[in-house]
Structure 1
Amino acid sequence: MIPPKPASRPDRVSLWRYMQLFRRDILSAQPARLYRAWMAEFRTPFFRSYLMNQPDLVKTVLKDRPDDFPKSDRIGEGLRPLLGNSVFLTNGETWKRQRRIIDPAFEGGRLRETFPAMWAASEAAAARLPDGVTEIEEQTSHAAADVIFRTLFSIPIENELASAVFHEFRAYQRSQPILNLAAFVPLPRWMPRLFRRDTRASAARIRALITQLVAQRADEIAQGTAPDDLATKIMTTADPETGDTFSAEEMVDQVAIFFLAGHETSASALAWALYLLALYPDWQAKVASEAQALQDCDFGVMSKLPVTREVFRETLRLYPPVPMMVREATCPERFRDRDVRKGSQLVLSPWHLHRHTRLWDRPDDFDPARWHTENGKTCQRDAFIPFSAGARVCTGAGFAMVEGPLILARLLRDTEVTVVPERVPVPVAHLTVRAQDGIWLNLRKRQR
């Protein structure tokens, strides 16, 4: 049984048809040949882009020469109303300054400190699960948002402000396409960007709510009553080179991306993991067996969930939450005997790289045991980038690899999930890889 993936378009379509498909869904807009190509070129009247699947080329762009291949501004245009100048969108010295302030909050030792908040969120998520046929993406979105609020601001999602942000974000997530017109046409800087009215309004409401949270925390820091959580850590950390801390507006930008990256991506991965385990009950039984170790809030319990971690990693391979990343060439290059002009877009696609037929054994199969094979070990090193890689690797990667397996195991400790045969989810790319009409599962309490 092969897990679902989108149908591919024909190799040749008109630019107009491609743009229509791209705006509807970035995944099904791509031709099947990308699953076996080392490099593919796309030409438009406005710019050229190159999809790169060869591991050496991916390494060059992400690890060896990241300053020569900054993030493309075209992709960020669609997210700027919400994210402002957050670390997700910036480049150069601005980005380096932001990472110097943010990174200390996510160092290894902090994971142990944030674990009780993750544990509380996982317990709350398990208690919320209903019986019967359920749309599971809504449940995992709720759980992931709860983790963010508890670890960042020490408040549960039931808090009035936290709840308001969560519900506004659900509206924003469905109204925001992954790309807007600026991704296709290099608009001049002076030309106004066009966004859907509801998208811009929703982003403004989210930022207003986050501004309240940041202002409250600034007051608590000034009074010496702030909890020692991620928000306090970030707001009080000074850039070691300049001594500056984030301004209130800068902190709003960063909280917006923490919520987007930490909530959207985790919710996507958790929902697909639960679907895969419903599809493969033998693996679900192994996870449920491991999950019996989850009785006390102890960070050491994570060492008792090796199978759950492998299942989560395999989910990130098949359904990477961020399916494509775009970089820009700042100087002329030559890759695989192709001349790449300055300003060209370089597309790095975890979606295609993780399913590449010339790299992976049985690339479309769900097989968490693959990580113990030679092929799996090689591909994990060279062709597995769910959190990007190199200097711009997601600062919360370690956080996600604790949160995801913990919540997955906790939910399955007490609940059994089975598929709804007539509702097979179709992956599409919104802000992250979600299901076109949701992921529907049948839930029932597990018999111990």
Structure 2
Amino acid sequence: MTPPKPVPRPDRVSLLRYLRLFRQDILSAQPARLYRAWMAEFRTPFFRSYMVNDPPLVDLVLKERPDDFPKSDRIGEGLRPLLGDSVFLTNGETWKRQRRIIDPAFEGGRLRDTFPAMWAAGQAACDRIGPGEVEVEAEMSHAAADVIFRTLFSIPIEHEIAAQVFAQFRDYQRTQPLLNIAAFLPLPRFLPRGHRRRTKATARSIRDLITRLTEARMAEIAAGTAPDDLATKIMTTPDPATGETFTTAEMVDQVAIFFLAGHETSASALAWTLYLVATHPDWQARLAEEAGALDSCDFKVMSKLKLSRDVFREALRLYPPVPMMVRETTCPETFRGRDVKPGAQVVLSPWHLHRHTRIWDNPDGFDPARWQTEGGRDCMRRAYMPFSAGPRVCTGAGFAMVEGPLLLSMLLKRFSFEAVTGKTPVPVAHLTVRARDGIHLRVSPR
């Protein structure tokens, strides 16, 4: 069974029609030819945009000369009300300082330390899910949020403030697209940025709640009573270059992106993974057998979840949570013989790169076995970037590659999942790649 993908638009539509489609869903606004193109140019009266699918060009932008291709402010237009000046949006020296403080919290040894919290969140998810038809996107959002709060602040999702943040974020993520209209129009700073009133109000509410958590942790650190979790580690790590730590305001920005990146993206990936195994019972049976190794809360068990890791990796290929990234040129460039001026937008699309018909064998098919072949490993090196690549690779990539296979295995040890007839999910891009009407599966105890 071929996993579903959006129906792309015709190759040529008017700018107004494109903007309307884009507002509804980034993915279905794109033409089918992008799945085979090495590069495509998009023109508006205000700027030029270039989608780059050619692996050497992707490497140039993300790995070889990343400082020459900073993140575009057009991304920030849509997300800044929630994320402020978080590491996801900043550039240059500000971004480098933030990464110097944040990265040590996600090193290998710290992943081992967070494993018991992930395990507890997985057990709680299994206890919550009941038999019958289940909308798994909502369930995985709950589970992923629980993981974040347990690992970041040592509190479960049932904690009063954690529960409020989660509830508010459910409202936020369905009203805020990855890019808003200000990404396309050169609006003066004094004009509104095109945010919905509800979106801005919800962002303020979420940030107020995060501020309460952060201020409480600052007080615990000062009193010497703070738990040794990710929040404490980040808030007490000095910048090796200056000796400074994050202020409370700076930490609020970072917690906002940790919650977005660590909850929204993980929920998307886990929900699509469950759909894929529900529609491929042969793989589900193999994973359930492998999950028998989960007999205790021991980080060493991750070395036994090889199939689960490959299945999760394949789900990230087919449904990368962040479907597109935007960089900006700072100097004249030449891409595939075409002159590109400074200020042009460079779109890097994991969604199209991961399904590129001139790179991948069976690009739209679900085939976890590909990762154990030389061809699959070569494609992973050249054209696989669910967590971005280069210096700006997601700092939580290792975290996600423990959380995803672990929760998948815990769920499949307890339950079997079947697709619901007539409810095939259609992927759309909100903040991440989600299903238009949710992902409905029939859940049965094993």
TM-score after normalising by structure 2? 0.99
Matches within 5 A, 1:8-47: 8-47=8-47
Whether the 8 Å CA contact 1:74–1:186 is kept in 2: the answer is no
- Which residue is equivalent to 1:355? 355
Whether the 8 Å CA contact 1:70–1:328 is kept in 2: the answer is yes
- What is the CA-CA distance between 1:182 and the residue it aligns to? 1.3
- Which residue is equivalent to 1:176? 176
1: CA distance, partners of 2:279 / 2:193: 43
Matched residues, percent identical?
74
- Which residue is equivalent to 1:310? 310
Aligned residues: 446
**Paired letter, 2:194:** L
Whether the 8 Å CA contact 1:75–1:182 is kept in 2: the answer is no
Matches within 5 A, 1:281-430: 281-430=281-430
Query: Which stretch shifts more, 172-181 or 422-431?
Result: 172-181
2: CA distance, partners of 1:298 / 1:321: 28
2: CA distance, partners of 1:264 / 1:231: 19
SS of aligned partner of 1:145: helix
1: CA distance, partners of 2:275 / 2:192: 42
2: CA distance, partners of 1:91 / 1:400: 24
- What is the CA-CA distance between 1:186 and the residue it aligns to? 2.2
- Which residue is equivalent to 1:225? 225
- Find out whether 1:151 has 2:147 as its counterpart: no
- Which residue is equivalent to 1:195? 195
**Paired letter, 1:388:** S
2: CA distance, partners of 1:399 / 1:169: 21
1: CA distance, partners of 2:308 / 2:194: 43
SS of aligned partner of 2:424: coil
2: CA distance, partners of 1:347 / 1:15: 18
2: CA distance, partners of 1:181 / 1:77: 9
SS of aligned partner of 1:357: coil
1: CA distance, partners of 2:126 / 2:198: 33
Consecutive unaligned residues of structure 2, counting only runs of 5 or more, are: none
Describe the superposition over 1:348-399 as per-residue Cα deviations: whole angstroms up to 9, x where unpaired: 0000000000000000000000011222011000100000000000000000
1: CA distance, partners of 2:286 / 2:64: 39
- Which residue is equivalent to 2:268? 268
**Paired letter, 2:436:** Q
**Paired letter, 1:297:** C
1: CA distance, partners of 2:186 / 2:279: 43
2: CA distance, partners of 1:174 / 1:377: 35
**Paired letter, 1:198:** R
2: CA distance, partners of 1:161 / 1:377: 43
- What is the CA-CA distance between 1:62 and the residue it aligns to? 0.1
1: CA distance, partners of 2:241 / 2:96: 11
1: CA distance, partners of 2:191 / 2:391: 32
SS of aligned partner of 1:292: helix
**Paired letter, 1:122:** G
- What is the CA-CA distance between 1:190 and the residue it aligns to? 4.0
- What is the CA-CA distance between 1:189 and the residue it aligns to? 3.3
- Which residue is equivalent to 2:63? 63
Matches within 5 A, 1:109-188: 109-188=109-188
TM-score after normalising by structure 1? 0.99
Consecutive unaligned residues of structure 1, counting only runs of 5 or more, are: none
- What is the CA-CA distance between 1:192 and the residue it aligns to? 3.7
**Paired letter, 2:337:** D
1: CA distance, partners of 2:375 / 2:52: 20
- What is the CA-CA distance between 1:193 and the residue it aligns to? 2.1
- What is the CA-CA distance between 1:407 and the residue it aligns to? 0.2
